[in-house]
């Protein structure tokens, strides 16, 4: 009997995201895109006039906010539609059209920042005293003047806006190649049953298969498809890195790392503190790898063993039960918080949860102010899927509360803080369930396996390793050195060899190709924020689980802040300090506690 993944049109409506709550039809979406492009002229009428007075400036900013908000909503609709089925050519066409539209909007509003800078801080201060509507933009103005040295003329800014679409082409072509065009050969299990391999079930099911033979076959088949296209994938990543170098030089920064972190007002020391602390604590990882090796009874661990189940009992967690366990774990956050999650997951169809052919790799939460925060994932009734759902609901609640409490200008939040909210849910879930009498030791063992072998392995091992890879590749590009498939594979192998230690079965070519399986690398210096995020999350959850006075209110205040202040500042108000290695060190201590408990449960 074949284990087939259904095409998108065979998936029940109740398991799909609530697209019609955003636009009633693709035709309605198309009309809105045309209207947005038609309204660009309304923005252009303000060009060259922002210095006329506070009223003109407020009106212009409100018009820009409204237009960009509409553009974000239309872009998200097309992007989500494409990601849930990358084989759908109509959805791919919508996404391409949305990207073109968004590029036009970015170009049309590019005059705003240079003109505000030309007004000057003193005159803006006077205008803000006269107009409360303008005073809303105070932090936006402060941040703009902070970045003044790196804001170019209106003409250059317009060009930078126009090139954003073509410079994103490498990411798009990689997504089309790996999600739509890649066809993986199926594998057979011990009974001869054929199992399809897709981007949706590779991580969530096949790498968790109890049979080492099946895992190895799936891993080899999956990675060999990437290796067969290594030169194209390397060229795409190199193009993206070179685009980052271009932006760095166009905006006159000293390095791509400095340029990326400057945008969020984050010192480069935060990045280097993480990397240094990670390398210092590699022995903690080596202890876990040895424990896993013994538990699996193998001579040497291989990459495909990292998610293999240690527990012999398979724990099933249907979607509805997962939602209830997550809500139960988050009870300290208050009834309104929990009710919002339950309604979103079970009634309002926030979650596109069924695996289907062509569904994009991984999981994410995405939306825009005025929509639900939607989640794309492939739920498989396992503890790993429950944890992923908790994680993405953390992102969704961050968006939900930010959109509810902030004006559009502050309705986003940085990637740096995003992973705090998502990992917070997982930390709260483990903190509650590992001390609950409602679940047995087998469930607890599965929870800790997922915590260390899943969440921590990804966020506290893979991501810091990829951050080191990203830093080195960018530095090579800055020096004008070539980035080829072979050099990228060699670098990745070298970094993982240090991370895994000497007692590891290193498949150089396949392990070295791991970088190609992470689309995150197309987001400039993003991966390190996963590790700082999980650190911040455990700091916040620890305060609440210890019932520190004001901890819940502090954390909710963080979720409601959006981008109304700098990332480090909103975190500090929640009791999270990521300017020091201490928070990362404390999270390694949490991980060691999980390893201790894992060892006890195994014995």
- CA–CA distance, 543 with 163 (Å, rounded to integer): 45
Segment holding 194, helix H or strand E:
strand 194-195
In terms of phi and psi (left: phi > 0; alpha: psi -120 to 50; beta: otherwise), the region of 575 is left
Instruction: Single out the residue of 519, 534, 515 nearest to residue 591, CA to CA.
Output: 534
- CA–CA distance, 325 with 432 (Å, rounded to integer): 9
Q: Which residues are registered as beta bridge partners of 194?
A: 188
Main-chain dihedrals φ then ψ at residue 81, nearest 5 degrees: -60, -40
List residues with catalytic annotation.
392
For residue 523, how many other CB atoms are within 10 A of its CB? Answer: 14
DSSP code, position 450 = I
**Are the beta carbons of 69 and 368 closer than 8 angstroms?**
yes
- CA–CA distance, 346 with 320 (Å, rounded to integer): 7
3-state helix, strand, coil in the chain (%, to 5): 70, 0, 30
**Are the beta carbons of 327 and 337 closer than 8 angstroms?**
no
For the chain, give the longest Cα–Cα distance.
77
- Distance, C-alpha 133 to centroid of its chain: 33
Main-chain dihedrals φ then ψ at residue 377, nearest 5 degrees: -160, 170
């Amino acid at each position: 009997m074949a284990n087939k993944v259904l095409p998108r049109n065979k998936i029940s409506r109740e398991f799909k995201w609530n697209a019609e709550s955003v636009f009633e039809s693709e035709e309605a979406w198309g009309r809105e895109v045309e209207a947005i492009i038609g309204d660009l002229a309304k923005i252009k009428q303000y060009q060259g006039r922002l210095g006329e007075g506070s009223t003109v400036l407020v009106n212009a900013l409100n018009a820009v906010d409204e237009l960009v908000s509409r553009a974000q909503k239309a872009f998200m609709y097309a992007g989500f539609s494409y990601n849930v089925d990358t084989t759908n050519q109509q959805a791919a066409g919508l996404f391409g059209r949305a990207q073109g539209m968004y590029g036009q909007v970015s170009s049309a509003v590019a005059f705003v920042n240079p003109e505000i800078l030309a007004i000057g801080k003193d005159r803006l201060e006077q205008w803000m005293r006269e107009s409360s509507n303008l005073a809303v933009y105070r932090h936006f103005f402060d941040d703009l003047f902070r970045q003044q040295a790196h804001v170019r003329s209106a003409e250059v800014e317009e060009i930078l806006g126009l090139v954003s679409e073509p410079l994103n082409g490498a990411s798009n072509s990689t997504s089309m190649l790996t999600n739509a065009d890649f066809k993986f050969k199926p594998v057979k299990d011990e009974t001869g049953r054929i199992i399809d391999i897709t981007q949706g079930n590779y991580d969530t099911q096949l790498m968790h298969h109890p049979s080492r033979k099946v895992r190895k076959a799936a891993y080899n088949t999956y990675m060999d498809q990437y290796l067969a296209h290594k030169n194209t994938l390397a060229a795409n990543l190199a193009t993206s890195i070179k685009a980052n170098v271009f932006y760095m030089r166009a905006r006159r920064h000293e390095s791509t790392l400095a340029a990326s972190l400057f945008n969020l007002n984050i010192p480069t020391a935060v990045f280097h503190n993480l990397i240094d602390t990670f390398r210092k604590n590699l022995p903690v990882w080596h202890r876990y790898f040895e424990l896993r090796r013994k538990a699996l009874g193998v001579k040497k661990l291989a990459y495909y063993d990292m998610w293999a189940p240690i527990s012999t009992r398979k724990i099933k967690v249907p979607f509805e039960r997962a939602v209830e366990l997550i809500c139960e774990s988050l009870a300290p956050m208050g009834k309104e918080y929990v009710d919002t999650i339950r309604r979103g997951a079970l009634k309002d169809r926030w979650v596109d949860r069924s695996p289907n052919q062509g569904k994009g790799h991984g999981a994410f939460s995405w939306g825009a102010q005025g929509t639900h925060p939607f989640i794309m994932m492939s739920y498989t009734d396992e503890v790993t899927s429950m944890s992923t759902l908790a994680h993405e609901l953390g992102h969704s609640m961050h968006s939900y509360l930010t959109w509810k409490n902030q004006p559009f200008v502050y309705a986003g939040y940085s990637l740096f803080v995003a992973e705090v909210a998502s990992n917070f849910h997982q930390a709260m879930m483990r903190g509650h369930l590992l001390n609950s009498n409602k679940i047995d030791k087998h469930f607890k063992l599965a929870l800790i396996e997922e915590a260390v072998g899943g969440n921590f392995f990804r966020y506290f091992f893979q991501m810091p390793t990829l951050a080191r890879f990203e830093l080195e590749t960018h530095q090579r590009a800055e020096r004008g050195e070539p980035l080829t498939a072979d050099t990228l594979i060699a670098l990745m192998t070298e970094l993982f060899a240090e991370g895994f230690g000497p007692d590891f079965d290193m498949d150089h070519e396949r392990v070295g190709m791991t970088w190609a399986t992470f689309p995150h690398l197309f987001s400039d210096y993003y991966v390190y924020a996963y590790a700082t995020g999980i650190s911040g999350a455990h700091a916040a959850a620890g305060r609440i689980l210890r019932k520190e006075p004001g901890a819940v209110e502090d954390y909710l205040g963080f979720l409601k802040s959006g981008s109304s202040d700098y990332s480090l500042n909103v975190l500090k108000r929640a009791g999270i300090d990521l300017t020091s290695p201490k928070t990362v060190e404390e999270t390694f201590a949490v991980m060691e506690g999980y390893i201790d408990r894992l060892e006890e449960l195994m014995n």
